[in-house]
A = this chain, B = another copy of it.
Amino acid sequence: MDTPIINNLFTLMQRYRMTMRDVINANELGLNAMHVRCLHIIEATEACTANDIVQKMQRDKAQVARLVKDLMNLGFIEKNASKEDKRRFILSFTESGSALLMKLLAAQKEINNSLCKGLNKAQLDTFLSVVDKMSENLK
């Protein structure tokens, strides 16, 4: 049996997680990789709610609720009930959260750069379209 494609992906993801963990540990915060992903999503999403994070990360809402709670307890974000829909809470950064975010964005960019080193645009485009097609195939 020729080893399935997915194994190469497992290896890549493993390496990525380790790289990410090093960065996070280097900054010595009470955070893990999923917290960081949440922060990035909150930043990138207009009036982000917990449910937005659920959609974008494709994770269970229970998991997300806990990550958000942690981030609030750590004082990086706060939530306010939406005026249009009181079930929703809009997430936003505190001052210390914004400061943290700056650092994380810089780190993320650096990781992304080293990830893509030696690859040209055509390769990356093909890669991305294949990834998305595969996700679609499994939906």
Contact = CB atoms under 8 A, between A and B. Distances in A.
Contacts of A103: none
Contacts of A126: 123, 126-127, 130
A41 B10 CA distance: 13
Given A13-B13, A118-B133, A135-B12, A124 B59 contact: no
A68 B126 CA distance: 38
B6 A9 contact: no
Interface stretch (A24-32, A69-77, A86-94, A108-116): A108-116
* Identical chains bound together, number: 2
Contacts of A119: 130, 133-134
Given A118-B133, A119-B130, 19 more contacts: A1-B40, A5-B112, A7-B56, A9-B9, A9-B16, A10-B37, A10-B57, A12-B138, A14-B58, A15-B138, A15-B139, A114-B137, A115-B137, A116-B134, A117-B137, A118-B137, A119-B134, A123-B130, A126-B130
Interface of A: 1, 3-16, 18-19, 37, 40, 43-44, 56-59, 105, 108, 111-112, 114-119, 123-124, 126-135, 137-139
